C-alpha cells in the first residue's frame, strides 16, 4: 500500500503541468532534454542539421564532422534561466472572478557545459573517416520550485489565508559521452554515426510546510534515482550536391533508460527499479544559399518524435502525443569574417499538442585571436491552463484547482572553437 501511495504521489506531481522543451516541472522525472547545440545553432533557432560544421554540429548531425581537417576542439557554456508563474482566479460571493491571484512565482539560473573534439588527418585520402568525441548533458533533472497554496475564496486581511507551502528541490541528471564517426562517401556526400553512452543520477527533496497556527504537521519526502544508464544511436546524412541547397537527414534511435529509485518520508518507504522507453526521432534539415555575392544563408529544420511510443514501467505509460518541431534560422556574413544570426522555434508539448512554445533568438559570430567565437541567446514563452494537484494531509486525498501557468525560458550559449 505504501508503494502504491508513493507512486501515486509522484504521478500526481507530474500531472501538474504540460511539458515541452525547456526547464519545466513536468519534465522533472523524465528529464529536460538539452540538445548540445553551439552558440551559432542556438542563435539560429536551433537549426544546424545541414549548416553547422565540425565539432559545432556533430551532436546535431554526426555526418558534419566528415569535413573536419586536422584537430578541432570546442567548448560551449550554456546558461538557462527558467521562470514560472501560476495564477488562480479569486471569486466573489456570486462566483464571479475578481482578480487572478499569483500563488507561485519561481526563477532559477542553471549552467551546463559541453566539451567536444574531432580529428581527421589532413593528408589522409577520402576513405579515412573523421573521429570525434563529445561530453555533454543529455537529460537534466535539476529544478527548484516553490508554490504557495492559498484559499481562493478567502479575503482575509492583511493577506490571503495560506493553506500550505510546497518546496521541491531536485538536482542531477543524465550525461552522455558520445563517440562519432564521419565519412565522405563521394564528393559532397557525407554520412555519420554517433553513439551516446549515458550515465547519471538525481535526487528529489519535497517539503510541505503549514502555517504556525495549523494543526497539520509539516512533512518531507526524499527520493533518489541512482545508476541511470542507457545507449542511443544516431545516424546522419549530409548532401551538398544540389545547386544552392544542402540537405541533411538524421535518425536518432529510441533508447531505454534504466536505474533504481528509493523513496522515504511522507508517503512511506519504497524502492525498486525504473525503466523509461524514450521514443525515436527523425529530422530533416536544409540550408539555402540565395546568391554567391551575398553571404546570407537560410536554414530550416523539421523534427518528428514519436512520443506516443514512450513507456514508463514505474508509474504506468503516460498518454503522450507525437510532436513536430519547426526551427528556422538566418545567417548573414560580413567580409571581416563576422556573422549576424536570427532564429525562430515552434515546439508543441508532447503531453498536449494544443500547448506550444514559441521562441526567438539572435547572436553573433566572431574571429578573436584565431578562435571562432559564437554567441547566441534565445527566449521562449508559453501559457496554458492546468488542473494543479495537491495532497490534502487532513483528508489524505488529492485535491485540485484550476490555474493558469506562464513559463518563460531564456537560454544563452557561448562556444569557442579552435582548429589546430
Q: Which of 2-16, 80-94, 226-240 has the lowest mean pLDDT?
A: 2-16
In this predicted structure, the answer to whether residue 24 has a pLDDT above a threshold of 90 is no
pLDDT at position 31 is 77
pLDDT at position 156 is 54
pLDDT at position 6 is 42
CA distance 144 to 109: 10
pLDDT at position 141 is 84
Q: What confidence category does residue 293 fall into, taking pLDDT thresholds of 50, 70 and 90?
A: low
The average confidence (pLDDT) of the chain is 83
**HSE, side-chain direction, 13 A CA sphere, residue 315:** 19
Omega within 30 of 0 (cis) for the link into 158: yes
Q: Which of 46-50, 170-174, 348-352 has the lowest mean pLDDT?
A: 348-352
Helices and strands, number each (H, E), in the chain: 2, 19
Nearest to 117 by CA among 74, 161, 61, 169: 74
Q: How many CB atoms lie within 10 A of CB 402?
A: 11
Q: Which of 254-268, 289-303, 388-402 has the lowest mean pLDDT?
A: 388-402
pLDDT at position 198 is 95
CA distance 417 to 225: 35
Mean pLDDT across 102-122: 87
Q: Which of 127-131, 194-198, 294-298, 391-395 has the lowest mean pLDDT?
A: 391-395
2 Ramachandran zone, left/alpha/beta (phi>0; psi -120 to 50): alpha
Q: How many CB atoms lie within 10 A of CB 175?
A: 19
CA distance 197 to 252: 13
* CA 71 from centroid of its chain's CA atoms: 30
DSSP 363-391: EEEEEETTEEEEEEEEEEEEEEEEEEEEE
Q: What confidence category does residue 9 fall into, taking pLDDT thresholds of 50, 70 and 90?
A: very low
In this predicted structure, the answer to whether residue 348 has a pLDDT above a threshold of 80 is yes
Q: What confidence category does residue 13 fall into, taking pLDDT thresholds of 50, 70 and 90?
A: very low
Q: Which of 18-27, 115-124, 178-187 has the lowest mean pLDDT?
A: 18-27
Query: Following CA atoms 345, 349, 355, 361 in sequence, which dihedral angle do they give, to the nearest 10 degrees?
Result: -20
Mean pLDDT across 149-154: 66
Domain architecture of the chain: domains with CATH = 2-419 (2.40.160.60)
Q: What confidence category does residue 8 fall into, taking pLDDT thresholds of 50, 70 and 90?
A: very low
Amino acid at each position: 500500500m505504501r508503494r502504491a501511495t508513493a507512486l501515486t504521489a509522484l504521478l500526481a506531481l507530474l500531472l501538474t503541468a504540460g511539458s515541452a522543451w525547456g526547464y519545466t516541472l513536468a519534465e522533472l522525472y523524465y528529464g529536460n532534454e538539452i540538445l548540445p547545440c553551439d552558440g551559432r545553432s542556438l542563435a539560429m533557432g536551433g537549426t544546424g542539421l545541414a549548416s553547422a560544421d565540425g565539432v559545432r554540429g556533430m551532436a546535431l548531425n554526426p555526418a558534419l564532422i566528415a569535413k573536419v581537417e586536422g584537430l578541432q576542439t570546442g567548448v560551449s557554456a550554456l546558461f538557462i534561466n527558467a521562470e514560472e508563474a501560476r495564477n488562480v482566479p479569486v471569486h466573489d460571493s456570486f462566483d464571479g472572478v475578481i482578480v487572478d491571484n499569483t500563488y507561485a512565482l519561481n526563477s532559477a539560473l542553471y549552467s551546463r557545459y559541453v566539451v567536444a573534439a574531432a580529428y581527421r588527418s589532413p593528408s589522409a585520402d577520402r576513405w579515412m573517416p573523421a573521429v570525434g568525441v563529445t561530453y555533454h548533458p543529455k537529460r537534466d533533472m535539476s529544478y527548484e520550485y516553490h508554490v504557495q497554496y492559498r484559499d481562493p475564496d478567502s479575503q482575509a486581511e492583511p493577506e490571503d489565508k495560506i493553506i500550505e507551502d510546497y518546496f521541491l528541490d531536485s538536482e542531477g541528471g543524465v550525461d552522455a559521452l558520445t563517440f562519432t564517426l564521419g565519412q565522405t562517401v563521394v564528393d559532397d556526400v557525407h554520412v555519420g554515426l554517433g553513439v551516446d553512452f549515458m550515465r547519471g543520477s538525481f535526487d528529489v527533496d519535497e517539503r510541505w510546510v503549514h502555517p504556525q497556527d495549523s494543526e497539520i504537521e509539516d512533512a518531507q519526502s526524499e527520493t533518489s534515482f541512482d545508476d541511470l544508464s542507457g545507449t542511443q544511436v544516431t545516424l546522419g546524412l549530409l548532401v551538398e550536391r544540389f545547386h544552392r541547397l544542402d540537405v541533411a537527414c538524421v535518425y536518432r534511435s529510441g533508447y531505454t533508460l534504466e536505474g533504481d529509485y528509493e523513496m522515504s518520508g511522507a508517503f512511506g518507504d519504497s524502492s525498486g527499479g525504473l525503466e523509461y522507453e524514450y521514443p525515436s526521432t527523425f529530422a530533416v534539415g536544409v540550408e539555402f544559399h540565395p546568391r554567391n555575392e551575398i553571404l546570407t544563408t537560410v536554414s530550416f529544420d523539421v523534427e518528428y518524435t514519436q512520443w506516443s511510443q514512450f513507456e514508463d514501467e514505474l508509474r504506468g505509460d503516460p498518454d503522450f502525443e507525437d510532436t513536430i518541431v519547426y526551427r528556422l534560422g538566418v545567417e548573414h556574413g560580413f567580409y571581416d569574417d563576422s556573422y549576424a544570426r536570427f532564429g525562430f522555434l515552434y515546439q508543441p508539448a508532447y503531453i498536449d499538442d494544443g500547448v506550444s512554445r514559441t521562441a526567438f533568438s539572435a547572436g553573433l559570430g566572431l574571429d578573436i585571436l584565431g578562435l571562432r567565437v559564437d554567441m547566441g541567446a534565445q527566449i521562449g514563452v508559453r501559457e496554458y491552463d492546468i488542473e494543479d494537484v495537491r495532497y490534502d494531509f487532513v483528508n489524505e486525498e488529492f485535491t485540485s484547482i484550476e490555474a493558469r501557468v506562464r513559463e518563460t525560458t531564456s537560454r544563452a550559449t557561448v562556444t569557442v572553437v579552435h582548429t589546430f
